[in-house]
Amino acid sequence: MLKDHYDVIRKKKDDLWWFRGRRELFFSLLRRSMKGPLKAGLDAGCGPMTNESLYGRFAERWIALDNSMESFREPVSSRNVKAVIGGLDRAPVREESADLILLLDVLEHTDDDKAVILELGRCLKKGGLLLISVPAFNCLWSRHDEQAGHRRRYRSRGLIGLCEGCGFEVLDGHYFNTALFVPIYIARKILKILPGGKKVIESNLSPGFADPLLRLVLTIERWVGFNLFRMPFGTSFVLLARKNDE
């Protein structure tokens, strides 16, 4: 990931509609499957602590794991969170020590996604939960993916099959950000042909005054997805899985 992306995420993680809408979806998914806070959580590939506000709601103590010191340039705000430098191929985490693992917009950065899922399965207790989010649909591949260090984008079927093949039971899954799929697709095609398009960071294109409206769109999508029908596509896919007891 480019340093510019760390700086943008750090600056906008609390207020930008995209980050807030994602966290609200993550919260809803976990709340539906959990009876109360767990003992230990692992935020695998935490980046600049984008999801720290979720920690206290779902586990008593956390490990925030990332392979870059840039993620921890600002100090961790809670004494119940331990910052750890390390990769996901051989995570410096004890076997079966986590009740909940977050893998949020991380898997697409890895060279071997199956190896990462298997390694996190080693860290997760039997019956523990794994929450994954990934960018979806190859037709949306753009300079943004290259800037962010992505290796791939996913379809729901592929990610579900990957998790099931690694010993997980998939509990729930939702495409996310359906309403903006077509506008984002068009914008990326335009940026691809513009002379300066390669240097544009997409989150800088979102005007602040539009944040309340865009968050409302995501809120409506989330309600529809949980209560009426699943969205058939979206710019991202979010999946909740449980490690099999066998």
Model confidence over 131-183: pLDDT tens digits? Answer: 999 999 999 999 889 888 899 999 999 999 999 999 999 999 999 999 999 99
Extents of the domains making up the chain: 3-243
Which residues share a beta bridge with 241?
130, 170
pLDDT of residue 205: 64
**Residue 220 parent element (H or E):** helix 211-227
Per-residue pLDDT band for 9 (boundaries 50, 70, 90) equals: confident
- CATH of segment(s) 3-243: 3.40.50.150
Q: Which two tokens stand for residue 125?
A: 């207790």
| Cβ 218 vs Cβ 24: under 8 Å | yes
Interatomic CA distance for residues 85 and 68, integer angstroms: 7
pLDDT of residue 191: 84
